[in-house]
Amino acid sequence: SQQGEEDPQALSIQEGENATMNCSYKTSINNLQWYRQNSGRGLVHLILIRSNEREKHSGRLRVTLDTSKKSSSLLITASRAADTASYFCATVGYSGGGADGLTFGKGTHLIIQP
């Protein structure tokens, strides 16, 4: 079963604009990760934020985490056509010594219009 939901399901913006995607989850987590997937192929890790962190930056990416609301957001600034992809949040829980794998949401499909 899916841990949570990304919002929106689909987002279309103009090149150069900022894109914001949100993720909600249901259970306590150790960390939350964001991945990108191009055209139904393999996923690429973007950024990991631990439960004791509130904000993290990596290049044009900014991730926030609010554990009290069980939510996270991914901001992509100055978007480019190459950013067109599906974006997934994934959580790692505390149970089973970390052997539960990643629990993914359904993803946000981002389209950058040139």
What's at 76, amino acid-wise? I
Query: What amino acid occupies position 7?
Result: D
Distance CA 16, CA 99 (A): 40
**Cα–Cα distance for residue pair 38/102, rounded to 1 Å:** 19
Work out whether 69 is an interface residue with other proteins (CB under 8 A): no
Binding other proteins by CB under 8 A: which of 11, 13, 75, 102?
102
Question: Is residue 105 close enough to count as binding other proteins by CB under 8 A?
Answer: yes
Residues numbered 37 to 66 that lie near other proteins (CB under 8 A) are 40-45, 48
Rounded to the nearest angstrom, the gap between the alpha carbon of residue 69 and the centroid of all alpha carbons in its chain is 16
Q: Which is nearer to other proteins, 6 or 83 (CB)?
A: 6
Residues whose CB falls within 8 Å of the CB of residue 22, separated by 6 or more in sequence, listed in order = 6, 7, 71, 72, 73, 74
| Residue 92 makes contact with other proteins by CB under 8 A | yes
Q: Give the pair of three-digit tokens for residue 17.
A: 């604009």
**By CB under 8 A, is residue 104 in contact with other proteins?**
yes
Assigned token pair, 100 = 């539960």
Q: Does 22 bind other proteins (CB under 8 A)?
A: no
If the CB atoms of residues 18 and 45 are measured against other proteins, the closer one turns out to be 45
If binding is defined by CB under 8 A, does position 101 make contact with other proteins? Answer: yes
Interface with other proteins by CB under 8 A: which residues? 1-2, 30-31, 33, 35, 40-45, 48, 88, 90, 92, 96-107
